[in-house]
Structure 1
Amino acid sequence: MGFHTFDADSASKLEDPSRYRSLSREELLSYIDPDPSATIADLGSGTGFYTDDIAPYVAHVYAVDVQEEMHERYREKGVPENAELVTADVADLPFSDDELDGAFSTMTFHEFATDESMAELARVVRPGGRVTVVDWTATGEGHTGPPTDERFALGDAVEMFEAVGFTVTHAVSRNETFVCIVRR
């Protein structure tokens, strides 16, 4: 598997509404099932494309990205009042144990998925908390997204989450993407 970060020089592509073809706002909201009192994290938030969609439905959202350049672009666009930008690797999150009610990742799991990041999610997501991952699948044709050799298959994601104590509640492979929803 290749682990990389999205090229910050191409950040404008992250604001392209055609991204909704792979994952619509409504679909993401149905997977996350946000609670208005919840604190959640968008893992690999980039310029906040999907963070903006979730922010109106939760009390607080952390936009987590390893690249400060992405946060700079997000600031230029405008950050919702209840969103906080966090520059961090998913394997080393600056949150307390059980601090998050949930987390989500949209097309970024392949960028951070390691044993260390899975253990870190198990540490920061409270018992009963939900993690939603929608990412490019290794079994896809590769017409969009990263090359297929840089992707994970749904089974890989399921195994990684189960290895750190999460329970899979929904898992489906689609043409180019997969959806994996787990509870701690």
Structure 2
Amino acid sequence: MLPWGYKSVMSAQMFEGKDHAAIYQKHRFPPPQELLNIIFSYLEEKKGKPYDLVVDVGCGSGQSTQVLVPYFARVLGTDISEAQIQQAKQTPSPSQVSYCVCPAEALPVEDGSVDLLTAFTAAHWFDIPPFMRELERVLKPGGCVSLSSYTPKMRIHYGHCSEELTEIFREIQAVLNKYAHEKLHVLLSEYQEIFDLMPFPDKKRIIFQGSEISFTVAGLMGFLQSFSMFQTFKNAQPEAAEALLQQTQSRFLETMKVSSLETPLAITLEYICVLACKTPKEKVTS
């Protein structure tokens, strides 16, 4: 039985397969420290401690949930994909962490119980109007929400061929864009729709450039395979998807003038973050 009267699937289900969940767990990375600093600075300003319950919605295989552990007495990660939650549960976690399969629009928590609700690289998949109603229900007065993601604006860094590698990656993105889910328009608009529909007047949207993330060539190819649009392409045309992957890998190695897939490189990403605070109820005075 699904919680809170949930009747139909609302969120887009793009990360359901076990193989995709395994790739996601291996090659996706946690939110960067500079994003966490922005979130917790906002939370400290708006609400302050104590921090009891955080809910990480669309948590995938748990990378974004684990980074919240040091700050909260209770940490709940939720995702609509059972395969993703199974991956998350396989990672050793402290006792205050739990995971649950459920829709973003129907969370298994009490009214007014959540200090912070987060969604990292996930909110664009939600059915946004009912999710906003759920936000109003679950947040404590003074509780905060952070909906964030990196955008497709990605740069590759390696020696003197960074621009060439970045252009190769953009070409691959252009091919995969033909297989993009319609909900990705929310991401491409840099969460403007999410910001506009946020029901709390105390809100802001931040766009910033993240610091470098270390990869290998093999790791970058794995990251590429974790994209929903690559998986859609692979399901439709498995041989063509594999050929594209091998071609991309070869182009990277040739451009870098190396032979090892373990050759290190780095990427930088642009991030967006929508922050909001649920207005505390004014005290009634006699």
Report TM bin, short chain. Answer: 0.7 to 0.9
Corresponding position: 1:183 with 2:251:
no
Tell me the CA shift for residue 45 of structure 1.
0.8
**Structure holding more helix per residue:** 2
Which amino acid counterpart does residue 277 of structure 2 have in structure 1? R
Question: Based on CA coordinates, which of the two structures has the bigger radius of gyration?
Answer: 2
Closer/same/farther in 2, CA of residues 139 and 120 from structure 1, 3 Å limit: farther
Which amino acid counterpart does residue 121 of structure 1 have in structure 2? L
Corresponding position: 1:71 with 2:81:
no
TM-score by length of 2: 0.54
In structure 2, C-alpha distance between the alignment counterparts of 1:4 and 1:173, rounded to whole Å: 28
| 1:22-72: CA deviation from partner (whole Å, max 9, x where unpaired) | x41x12321331756331100111111111111122111111111222221
Does the 8 Å contact 1:169/1:182 carry over to 2? yes
Tell me the CA shift for residue 160 of structure 1.
1.4
- Aligned residue for 2:207, secondary structure, equals strand
In structure 2, C-alpha distance between the alignment counterparts of 1:171 and 1:32, rounded to whole Å: 11
Does the 8 Å contact 2:16/2:82 carry over to 1? no
Identity %, equivalent residues = 21
- Aligned residue for 1:116, secondary structure, equals helix
- Aligned residue for 1:105, secondary structure, equals strand
Which residue of the partner structure matches residue 14 of structure 2?
A: 5
Corresponding position: 1:147 with 2:180:
yes
Which amino acid counterpart does residue 78 of structure 1 have in structure 2? P
Match among 100, 103, 117 for residue 89 of structure 1: 103
- Aligned residue for 1:93, secondary structure, equals coil
- Aligned residue for 1:19, secondary structure, equals coil
Runs of 5+ unmatched residues, structure 1? none
Tell me the CA shift for residue 170 of structure 1.
4.0
Corresponding position: 1:30 with 2:67:
no
Does the 8 Å contact 1:36/1:57 carry over to 2? no
Tell me the CA shift for residue 109 of structure 1.
0.6
Corresponding position: 1:156 with 2:156:
no
In structure 2, C-alpha distance between the alignment counterparts of 1:150 and 1:112, rounded to whole Å: 8
In structure 1, C-alpha distance between the alignment counterparts of 2:123 and 2:150, rounded to whole Å: 8
Closer/same/farther in 2, CA of residues 6 and 31 from structure 1, 3 Å limit: farther
Which residue of the partner structure matches residue 149 of structure 2?
A: 135
Corresponding position: 1:19 with 2:52:
no
Runs of 5+ unmatched residues, structure 2? 1-10, 44-48, 155-169, 210-268, 279-286
Greater mean alpha carbon deviation, residues 76-85 or residues 147-156: 147-156
CA RMSD of aligned residues (A): 3.0
Does the 8 Å contact 2:207/2:270 carry over to 1? no
Which amino acid counterpart does residue 29 of structure 1 have in structure 2? L
In structure 2, C-alpha distance between the alignment counterparts of 1:147 and 1:136, rounded to whole Å: 16
Does the 8 Å contact 2:77/2:100 carry over to 1? yes
